[in-house]
Amino acid sequence: MKDMRPEPGLYVTATPIGNLADITYRAVEILKKADLILCEDTRQTAKLCSAYGVETPRAPYHDHNAAKVRPEIIKKLQDGAVICLVSDAGTPLISDPGYKLVRAARDEGIAVYPVPGASAALAALSAAGAPSDRFFFAGFLPAKQGARTKALEEFARIDATLIFYETAPRLGAVLSAMTDAFGDRQAVVARELTKLHEGFREGPLSTLAAAYGDAPPKGEIVIVVFPPEEKAAEAGDVDAFLTGALAEMSVKEAAAAAAEAFSMPRKTAYARALQLKGAG
Ligand code: SAM
């Protein structure tokens, strides 16, 4: 496997989030061919390497040694090394170490290659059934209550599905704080994704908060919160829209346009358009 040497550079390599089979052919190949694998926890990555016959040397790169070892890593990359960066699970840099290394590599003109794969945030979003056209990844909330409340108040204004990482013991308290900040929006608690005890539980935030407050779950968790409900169309807005439309089109066409614009029943729009036409 060492025959075709990859281009030198830093390969940001995603690994499984539970199910060991969730790794790409390309990730296995680059892990085998690299000169070095930088690991958040070398023991954790050792399991993955042994499952796939990867014998590449491993070295730790985590929050506690990153500042110290980064210059040595950059030097190796400048000398033409092929280095993979992995985290314990999922995609590096996504609530995991690596940002400063990628930044430093780019600042030095070193090539950085993504080797994409699993990430708990996208796995949860893909199966939760929440609107997925626009989403905001919020990662972990601050542990301290004051900072958490402030962060949630900021997130409440975002018109998109929100995705959070959370730990099991804090789940009940966090769902309850979310109910206060967001109102009783619909949400999904996604647990142990791709693992034996995978599970999705959907409901209003207050219901989920009560359920998990009484019985904290085990395992790893992603919380997916639906976007704020669309503001119901104001009667005045609909009338103004219909009046404008009626000046240019038939009652039927104006009603159809209003129904689509305000996500309202066609019948209702038609009845109101008729009234306005009669009044005009
Ligand atoms: N880099 C990882 C990724 O791409 O998903 C995330 C690392 S972060 C330190 C760990 C958090 O991700 C966990 O506390 C949990 O919120 C979430 N997570 C990771 N694996 C998960 C899984 N299998 N099921 C549910 N959540 C998971």
DSSP per position, 197-265: T-EEEEEEHHHHHHHHHHS---SEEEEEEPPPPPPPPPHHHHHHHHHHHHTTS-HHHHHHHHHHHHT--
- State the angle between helix axes of 25-33 and 42-52 in degrees (0 to 180), rounded to the nearest 10: 110
CA of 165 to the centre of ligand 1 (A): 7
Give the per-residue pLDDT at 3. 63
Separation between Cα atoms, residue 260 and residue 138, nearest integer Å: 32
CA of 167 to the centre of ligand 1 (A): 9
What is the CATH code of the structural domain delimited by 9-118? 3.40.1010.10
Query: In this structure, how many other beta carbons lie within 10 angstroms of the beta carbon of residue 114?
Result: 13
Closest ligand 1 atom to the C-alpha of 194?
A: 23
* Spatial CA neighbour of 32 closest among 58, 60, 70, 2: 2
pLDDT < 50 regions, the chain? 1-2
Three-state secondary-structure class, residue 57: coil
pLDDT in tens, 232-249: 566 778 889 899 999 999
Give the per-residue pLDDT at 1. 47
Phi, psi of 204 (to 5 degrees): -65, 150
Closest ligand 1 atom to the C-alpha of 167?
A: 14
Segments making up each domain of the chain, as ranges: 9-118, 121-225, 235-279
> Residue for token digits 């159809």?
256
Instruction: Tell me which fold the domain 121-225 belongs to.
Output: 3.30.950
CA of 118 to the centre of ligand 1 (A): 10
CA of 198 to the centre of ligand 1 (A): 13
Residues 6+ apart with CB under 8 A from 255: 242, 266, 269, 270, 272, 273
Give the per-residue pLDDT at 73. 98
Give the per-residue pLDDT at 22. 98
Residue nearest to atom 16 of ligand 1 (CA): 165
CA of 163 to the centre of ligand 1 (A): 11
Helix (H), strand (E) at residue 12: strand 9-13
Three-state secondary-structure class, residue 189: strand
Please determine whether the domains at 9-118 and 121-225 fall in the same fold group of CATH. no
Give the per-residue pLDDT at 280. 64
Phi, psi of 166 (to 5 degrees): -150, 160
Query: How many helices and strands in the chain, by DSSP H and E?
Result: 11, 10
Give the per-residue pLDDT at 261. 78
pTM: 0.84
Closest ligand 1 atom to the C-alpha of 124?
A: 25
Pocket of ligand 1 (CB under 6 A): 17-18, 87, 89-91, 94-96, 119-121, 165-167, 190, 192-195, 220-222
